[in-house]
Each structure stands twice: as C-alpha cells, then as structure tokens.
Structure 1
Amino acid sequence: MQSFPVLHTKRLTLTALKSEDRDSLLSIFSDPHVTYYDGGKVMKTATQAQHYISAFKDVTSISTTNTIRWGVRLKETMELIGTAGFQNWDRTSSKAEMGAILSRDFWSDGYGLEAAKAVINYGFRHMHLHKIYAQTIENNRAAVKRLEQLGFQKEGTFRDHVYLRKQYYHVLVYSLFQ
C-alpha cells in the first residue's frame, strides 16, 4: 500500500485521520455514551486524541499496528463523525476484526451501516480477507442488530469475558466470510 486508501459512499468519505481532527475526535471519544460498550474509557485530553491520530494517520501505521482506521466524514462538509476500520489484521490467516465508533449525534441515521459496508468491501476486495469478525458485549443490542443487518453470523460467546463497571459481561463473536 503506497498511500492511505480513501473510501467513498453515497453520504460519506472515509479518509486517514489528520491532526486537525483532534478536537472532533476528542469530542466523540469523550462522550461516555459513545464509549460505554467499548471499554468504557473516555478520552480526556487533546493529547490523547493526538496520540490516537498519530497511531493511525498514515500508511506506515498499518504495517506497524496491524490496524487500519479511517476517519468517517460527511461527504458534503468533511466533518469527522467517527472512525471505522480493522484491527488485529492477521495476514497469514487472512482475517481481521472490524470495529467502528460514531458520534452520538449520528446514531440511527444509517451512517454506521454505510461506513461498515465500505470497510467490509475494502477488506474483502483489497486486503483479500477471508474472514471479518467483530466482538461486542452481549448487552449491546444496537451493535448486534447492525452486525446481523450486515450479514454477520454469530459464532459463539465468551462468557464473563470483559470486566466493566464492576461486573463481568459476556462477549459475542460474529463473523462474515467472503
């Protein structure tokens, strides 16, 4: 990969994160409702947001982190509304874990599905993935619904797999094959 891929959908453009995204990223990841099922840790400083951007901002970060993370932007304004991408990219087994986070202001408008479809398409066509998987806490009904809408099938449950807010949660594993 010589340059960071840019993905286009009807309403979105997915690009590399940029330093100027720092404040928007901090706003998204500092919302406890947004991070509730994603470890529950909120971003608290602009420095944390800048570290996040630095970790995923260019094509070299893909090979060093086995992660590709796009900034999800509204096509018309290029406003950053979230991130989406793959982590735990295992090139030997041709699989990667998909994840996405969107600003609460953009929930329930289909933006998450639209971004996910673009990411999935890129994974199968350009990364030559055989399997895309996702994990979510069992109580995250919205994520389960979205995964099923995207065609993911439940593979199993990791019982008492994540400890958050003073209790253990089951984690569901979903997969999609090319």
Structure 2
Amino acid sequence: MEFPILQTDRLKLVEITEDHIDHVFSIFSDRRVTKYYGMAHFTDIQQAMNLVDSFQKNFQEKRSIRWGIIFKNTEEFVGTIGLNNLQIASRKAEIGYDLKPEYWRRGIISEAAGAVIKYCFDKLDLYRIGAVTFPENEPSFKLLLNLGFQKEGLLRGYIFQDNKSNDAYIFSVIKPDWIDQ
C-alpha cells in the first residue's frame, strides 16, 4: 500500500521519514507535549529514530498510519497525527496527535484531524474512530467534542505514566454521525 498524502487548505500530511527525526525529537522531548501522552519525554535522539522506525514498520504491517503535519507554505514540520490500533477488518482505529506548543490553539489539529477522519470513513471505510485522553487534558477532549466525537466514559487506570496508573476518557465518532454533520 502506498502511503496516503493528505492535504488541507494550510497543511500537508506526509509520511514521517528519517528526514524528520530532529523534528520528532523536538516534539517528544518537550515535557509539555508528553504531559498527557502516556509516555515519558524523550531524552535521546535514538528514541526519535526508534519511533520513526515504528511508524514505518506499523504502516507496512497495516497496524497504524502516522502522518507528519507540515505547513504547505513553509514546509515546516509542526506535529504528527495518526491512527493507532488500526483494524481494517474490524473497521476501527484510534486517532492520536501531537503538536509543537508554539502552534497550540491555532486550529491546526482540528484541520488535520478533519482530513484524517474523512480519509478513514471515505477511503478506509472505517466505521468507528476512537480517542483516549487524560481527564485533565481539557483542550484535547474539547477538540474531540468539536470534531463530533462523543464521550463514552471513563477508563479507570488505563494509562500508565509517571509511575502510576491514570484514568482516561474514551471518545468516539462513528461513520453515520460524521456523515450527518
């Protein structure tokens, strides 16, 4: 399967390659980004290399798709967005995203997520897209609600981070809800 390139008015969503390792490290070494991510911040460039390798391997195995978010006009790499736990046969996946803090609250993830969701329902023929957030991550769950996701409930002790099990909210959007928007 060829990697799908997606575009919006401002953004191009591209395959993440070795050329992007420094950007990936910059994002995931920032504690503000990983605070609610379910993993510790990066301290070594090798961690970014391993993550990029896993993005590529999981795409080849059809288990996930992770795009780099790039501004069309400047080619600047500002974040990533993708599908985790992709199960084509079961017609479901989970969406996840991250963004350099200097670009927060500019509608970038909303714009990118809209393109990814459309791709999921139109091209992959998925029925359900889930999302998991920390209850304290209000900007993220508000974004999901604005995208048409519904809060389904609380997953107790679902994410292990900072040496403890943390609760998480689960959200979803299903194809009929998206089409009716």
Superposition TM-score tier, normalisation by shorter sequence: over 0.9
1:29: which partner in 2? 28
Q: 2-side partners of 1:169 and 1:55: how far apart?
A: 25
- The AA in structure 2 aligned to 1:47 is Q
Residue 118 (str. 1) matches residue 115 (str. 2): yes
SS in 1 for 2:61: helix
Structural RMSD (CA): 1.5
- The AA in structure 2 aligned to 1:21 is H
Identical amino acids, percent of aligned pairs: 37
1:45: which partner in 2? 44
Q: 1-side partners of 2:6 and 2:167: how far apart?
A: 33
Q: 2-side partners of 1:45 and 1:97: how far apart?
A: 27
Report the Cα offset of residue 93 of structure 1.
Answer: 1.6
1:77: which partner in 2? 74
Residue 170 (str. 1) matches residue 164 (str. 2): no
Question: Please, which moves more after superposition, 168-177 or 93-102?
Answer: 168-177
Aligned CA distance change for structure 1 residues 61 and 171 (closer, same or farther; 3 Å): closer
| Contact 1:32/1:40, CA 8 A, preserved across alignment | no
Residue 56 (str. 1) matches residue 42 (str. 2): no
2:6: which partner in 1? 7
1:128: which partner in 2? 125
Report the Cα offset of residue 160 of structure 1.
Answer: 3.0
What's the TM-score, normalizing by structure 1?
0.92
* Structure 2, gaps ≥5 residues long: 176-181
| Superimposed CA distance per residue, residues 23-77 of structure 1 (whole angstroms, 9 cap, x where no aligned partner) | 11111110000010002411122221112112223xx642426010001111111
| Contact 1:162/1:169, CA 8 A, preserved across alignment | yes
1:154: which partner in 2? 151
| Superimposed CA distance per residue, residues 86-120 of structure 1 (whole angstroms, 9 cap, x where no aligned partner) | 01012222000000011111101000101111111
Q: 2-side partners of 1:54 and 1:164: how far apart?
A: 23
Report the Cα offset of residue 85 of structure 1.
Answer: 0.8
Question: Please, which moves more after superposition, 125-134 or 85-94?
Answer: 85-94
| Superimposed CA distance per residue, residues 128-161 of structure 1 (whole angstroms, 9 cap, x where no aligned partner) | 1000000111111011100000000011111233
Q: 1-side partners of 2:61 and 2:72: how far apart?
A: 29
SS in 1 for 2:31: coil
Report the Cα offset of residue 18 of structure 1.
Answer: 1.8
What's the TM-score, normalizing by structure 2?
0.91
Report the Cα offset of residue 162 of structure 1.
Answer: 2.8
Aligned length: 175
Question: Please, which moves more after superposition, 151-160 or 165-174?
Answer: 165-174
